[in-house]
Amino acid sequence: MESINFDLNSTPLREINQYLHGAPETLKGKSVTIANPNGAHNIAVGLKADLEVTIQGHAGYYAAGMNQLAKVSIEGSAGTGVAENMMSGMVHVKGFASNAAGATAQGGLLVIDGDAGLRCGISLKGADIVIGGSVGSFSAFMAQAGNLVILGDAGEALGDSLYEARIFVRGKVHSLGADCEEKPMQEADRKILVDLLEKSGHADISPDSFKLFGSARTLYNFHVDNAGAY
């Protein structure tokens, strides 16, 4: 695998991102390292090639947003909107993540080793998110499809206005949002959870220690008695 090294102390971010936006066939299989990110915003956004990118430190807002095919590793924490609108590939945050991690993500896998802030997985549209720690309030708000796995605790209003996404929680849930309820875990759900635990490096954790939450489906159609929840 060919290795390419950049240093944000000496190379402008625009130049690095331009390189990463090169022809996918020329970038395929390459390994790119970005040193000294120092919390810069928009690192490695909009990637469309099957390559590996390692960010050696903390990243700012929207790191690895709109990712396709690439495997992006952040060896630190990430600001708001990491992996926002991700389509495919994998993004791994080895520290903590701020608000709206994985927002609107449609595919791929987002792994966060530490905690995630408010609205993790907001409007999730098919991606998988695994959180090694806890998540803040309103996580999976209006999540439409995909899976959110939380090894720690969940804040207030988990799964508010949920559609068809699954939420697996190992710790405590402060409160559930409108139309979110605990569900019995079927064999198909268990298989999904086992697969995501293996892919995220948590194969040693028993799926039996999790609870499953999903939509009660009472908000699918308007009813005057539910007006306050819309």
Summarised one tens digit per residue, pLDDT across range 100-156 is 999 999 999 999 999 999 999 999 999 999 999 999 999 999 999 999 999 999 999
Exposure on the CB side of residue 48, measured as CA atoms within 13 A: 7
Write the CB contacts of 119 (distance below 8 Å, at least 6 apart in sequence).
Answer: 99, 100, 103, 136, 137, 138, 139, 141
pLDDT higher than threshold 90 for residue 223:
no
Locate 221 and state its tokens: 């159609």
How does residue 34 score in pLDDT terms, banded at 50, 70 and 90?
very high
Q: Which residue has the tokens 């206005």?
A: 161
Separation CA 46–CA 70 (nearest Å) = 10
Using an 8 Å Cβ cutoff, are 13 and 37 in contact? no
Integer-rounded Cα Rg, in Å, for the chain is 18
User: Does residue 226 have a pLDDT over 90?
Assistant: no
CA separation for the pair 88, 67 (Å, rounded): 6
Domain ranges of the chain: 1-114, 115-230
> What integer is the mean pLDDT of 61-65?
98
State the Cα–Cα distance between residues 178 and 74, nearest whole angstrom.
34
pTM: predicted TM-score of the whole model, two decimal places: 0.94
